[in-house]
Structure 1
Amino acid sequence: MQSMRQLLCNYFVNAMKIKKVAKLKLVKLNHKKQKKKRDGILKK
């Protein structure tokens, strides 16, 4: 039973790490998009 609990713990830890990384990537992408929009507005 201990190994099963260990597997679940590892799974959740990995899931949280993946979520954090994905969120960071999304935030960076959004910043890039906003920057492009701002640059476009400035160029006009």
Structure 2
Amino acid sequence: MRSLRITYESTKFPFRVFYSCQNAAVILIALAHTARTPGYWKDRLGES
């Protein structure tokens, strides 16, 4: 799996942004709602 980083957790909206830096690109992995079970989105990642 890519190395994930939490770049921003909004105080106004209950979301976290997970991203990965690869070469000269920033890849958005997930925009996750903080009220959901942590990591619920990880099963949706492919083998890319």
What TM-score do you get using the length of structure 2 for normalisation?
A: 0.18
Name which structure has the greater RCO, CA cutoff 8 Å, separation 6+.
Answer: 2
From the two aligned structures, give the one with the greater strand fraction: 2
- Which entry has the higher C-alpha Rg, 1 or 2? 1
From the two aligned structures, give the one with the greater helix fraction: 1
What TM-score do you get using the length of structure 1 for normalisation?
A: 0.18
